[in-house]
Amino acid sequence: MSTTESREEGTAMRKRTASPVPGMFNPVVFRITLRATLGRKRAFVFILTPVLLLAITALLRAVATSPAWPAEFLGDFGLSVVLPLTALIIGTSALGAEIDDGAVIHLLATPVSRLSVVTSKFAAAVVLTLAFGALPEFLAGAIAKGFTDRLTIGLLVGAIVASVAYNAVFVLLSVLTTRAIAVGLLYLLVWEGLLGNFVGGVRVLSVGQYSVSAANAIAKTSALNAHLTTGTATVMAVIVTIASLAVAGRRLSSFSLKGDAV
Amino acid sequence: MNGTGLIELSNVSRWYGNVVAVNDISMSLGPGITGLLGPNGAGKTTLLNMMAGFLPPSRGELTVDGRPSWRNPEVFRTLGLVPERDSVYGFLSGLDFVRSTARLHRLADPDAAAHRAIAIVEMADAQDRRIATYSKGMRQRIKVAAALVHDPAILLLDEPFNGMDPRQRLQMMDLLEQMAEQGRTILFSSHILEEVERMSGTIEVMVGGRLAASGDFRAIRRLMTSRPHVFLVRSSADRELGAALIGRPAVTGVELSPRGLQVRAADFGTFTRELAGLCRDGDISLREVLPSDESLESVFAYLVAS
């Protein structure tokens, strides 16, 4: 191609909107993240777990005799195991995996604000967790108790709270550490699983408790093991989500790459 | 083109703990092509990362178009970066990738901008294929297209020739020179010295974090071809060839060994030309000519000492 042609092309490329890149949400980052997260090998984990959840629920419905099994199983296993793990895999995959393999550079080497990279990736992670975590939880509730039962609706609300708050925390972890999955697992097992059972104060800082407490606000059953009031759970879930995203955005603004000398 | 294309560094250093990666570098880059050469670990990538705002200098000042690039994503309105790492979204087609980048830049017509950038790197034929199916050279070119899509005045390329075959390397070099002719500031890093053989422009040589040599490509090329060399030569008549070689001013020493002739040449260019002539005249057939001190470090050390 001749130089003159390239110059003309250059002139045409110059046209752009004058405003700085605005907004908290970037659809391009959102779409790419959806596809990238679904395309990773670890996606099979969050695609298989809902199948497992639904299969066990169907089995229990056929054989279980205790009337409390739907709340116990879908609370202890569904809300407290399946949802956090699904969110962990998706939330750390959305940003962390791209930081690890370097693909994120192609997003960061543009004038898009770093906060909007964080929020758009978070949004993609929430959508995927809703699809592969919250929706199956709702369907499992429906298998156990029917679509309009209070428990079913409660589980759906709890699962939505979990999808949002967990992903905010795991997206933050992705920016803070290269071992986001390990740190996230420790948080789930040690903080929420172990300490949360013994130390009351820990529950105020447990996303899992926001989720079951939100579910319990509608379902109203002691089998869910909810320990926070609806008000506390709601306020804390909102604070944790917003604070995590804000800190993640700030940290990503200082995202640095090391050279070959180290 | 967007921006003036000026990069200014004054006394820039960068260290990680006790390790100094970049040591007190001052330079000023403007339109044209500049090669940043040096062995691996010399601090080239660290320097490029600082220019692109992906690392703050520990000390010193670095500005792109008059503004610091650290914590300033706005710098990418005038700057395009082609990172060394080959991680591109493999599930996207080349066109999707470049068009997405155009959208991230909020260009008025992302589609047209993407097609133009792809035409510049001559990737139109493969634009609809998934990037995962591209060869190394194609991936480099599609990365260049993405970095060019917003028509930046500055293009930074980290080891753009890595893993390319000689033909792809030539194409890329032509492309970079074309863009420099259009008035862009092109800076590429490389640890392969021979790349300057084809290049016109300025060369900055980095060794151990410092700017070791800097100047016009011709001066560096001359230094490269006139540097002393040790060769291992095997021929049909080593003794005769050795006798003839020692009579030449370009040769400073010859040693006969069971493996062949160890020849020390003071001048690389002259020696390689004369060797062919001597063999032809003496009817000696040349079996092997091996440079035996070609380690990059020794070449760079020589350049630094000169």
**In which element (H, E) is residue B104 found?**
helix B94-104
> Residue B305: its pLDDT value, please?
67
**Mean pLDDT confidence for A52-73:** 95
- Cα B242 to Cα B261: distance, rounded to the nearest angstrom: 7
CB contact under 8 A, A256 and B49: yes
ipTM above 0.90, yes or no: no
pLDDT band per the 50, 70, 90 thresholds, residue B2: confident
Residue A76 above 90 pLDDT? yes
Check the CA dihedral B84-B87-B93-B97 and report its sign: negative
- Collect all residues with Cβ–Cβ distance below 8 Å to B294 and sequence separation of at least 6: none
**Mean pLDDT confidence for B141-149:** 95
Identify the CA nearest to A52 among candidates A73, A31, A18, A82: A82
Alpha-carbon gap: A100 to the closest alpha carbon of chain B (Å): 10
Identify the CA nearest to B186 among candidates B198, B171, B170, B203: B203
- Collect all residues with Cβ–Cβ distance below 8 Å to A150 and sequence separation of at least 6: A218, A219, A220
Q: Is A238 exposed, middle or buried (0-12, 13-18, 19+ CB in 10 A)?
A: middle
CA distances from B22 to A135, B11, B305 (A): 52, 10, 19
CB contact under 8 A, A102 and B42: no
**In which element (H, E) is residue B219 found?**
helix B217-225
When scoring A16, A93, A115 by the number of chain B Cβ atoms within 10 A, the one with the most, hence best to mutate, is: A16
Residue A28 above 90 pLDDT? yes
CB contact residues (below 8 A), chain A span 9-68, against chain B: 9-10, 12-17, 19-21, 26-29, 32, 35-36, 39
Alpha-carbon gap: A85 to the closest alpha carbon of chain B (Å): 25
Residue A51 above 70 pLDDT? yes
pLDDT band per the 50, 70, 90 thresholds, residue A9: very low
Mean pLDDT computed over every residue of chain B: 88
**Mean pLDDT confidence for A140-156:** 96
CB contact residues (below 8 A), chain A span 103-132, against chain B: 103, 105-114
- B245, B231 in Cβ contact below 8 A? no
Residue B306 above 80 pLDDT? no
CA distances from B25 to A68, A214, B206 (A): 71, 58, 10
Residue B226 above 70 pLDDT? no
- Collect all residues with Cβ–Cβ distance below 8 Å to B19 and sequence separation of at least 6: A261, A262
> Residue A94: its pLDDT value, please?
96
CB atoms within 10 A of CB B277: 11
> Residue B168: its pLDDT value, please?
81
When scoring A8, A117, A257, A258 by the number of chain B Cβ atoms within 10 A, the one with the most, hence best to mutate, is: A257
> Residue A46: its pLDDT value, please?
94
Residues of A in contact with B91 (CB under 8 A): 35-36, 39
- Collect all residues with Cβ–Cβ distance below 8 Å to A181 and sequence separation of at least 6: A88, A89, A92, A96
Of the ranges A7-21, B35-49, B122-136, B191-205, which is most confident? B122-136
Q: Which pLDDT tens digit goes with each residue over A98-107?
A: 999 899 999 9
Q: Which pLDDT tens digit goes with each residue over B168-197?
A: 888 888 899 999 999 999 999 988 776 666
Of A101, A107, A259, nearest to B46 by CB-CB distance is: A259
DSSP 3-state of B53: coil
pLDDT band per the 50, 70, 90 thresholds, residue A22: low
> Residue B194: its pLDDT value, please?
66
> b/e map of A172-203 (b: 16 or more CB within 10 Å)?
bbbbeeeebbebbbebbeebbbeebeeeeeeb
Backbone angles phi, psi at A140, to 5 degrees: -65, -40
> Residue A17: its pLDDT value, please?
42
Residues of chain A above pLDDT 90, percent: 80
